Amino acid sequence: MIRVANKFDIPRLREMLLNYQSAGVLRGLKITNEQTGLKILSTIIAGGGIGLVSEKNGIVTGMLLSVCVPFLWDNNQLIMSEIAYWVEPEYRNTTAGYRLLKKYTEMCEDLRDSGRIVNYTVSRMEGQDLDYSRFGFKPIEQTWSI
pLDDT digits (tens, 9 = 90+) for 15-33: 998 888 777 755 555 556 6
Instruction: Name the residue with higher pLDDT: 46 or 128.
Output: 46
**Pairing relation of β-strands 74-87 and 119-121?**
parallel
Whether 131 is covered by a domain: the verdict is: no
Whether 139 is covered by a domain: the verdict is: no
Whether 25 is covered by a domain: the verdict is: yes
- What single DSSP character describes residue 46? I
99 Cβ neighbours under 8 A, 6+ residues apart: 2, 54
Band (pLDDT 50/70/90 cuts) for residue 76 is very high
Output the pLDDT for position 135: 62
Q: In this prediction, what percent of the chain has a pLDDT beyond 90?
A: 58
Distance CA(116)–CA(71), nearest Å, equals 12
Instruction: Name the residue with higher pLDDT: 124 or 82.
Output: 82
Whether the per-residue pLDDT at 80 is higher than 50: the answer is yes
Whether 19 is covered by a domain: the verdict is: yes
Total tally of structural domains belonging to the chain: 1
DSSP H or E segment with residue 45: none
Output the pLDDT for position 130: 65
Whether 137 is covered by a domain: the verdict is: no
- Which range marks the domain in which residue 26 is found? 2-126
For the residues 86-104, what does the mean pLDDT come to? 92
Band (pLDDT 50/70/90 cuts) for residue 37 is confident
User: What CATH number is given to the structural domain containing 29?
Assistant: 3.40.630.30
Q: Does pTM top 0.85 for this prediction?
A: no
Whether 32 is covered by a domain: the verdict is: yes
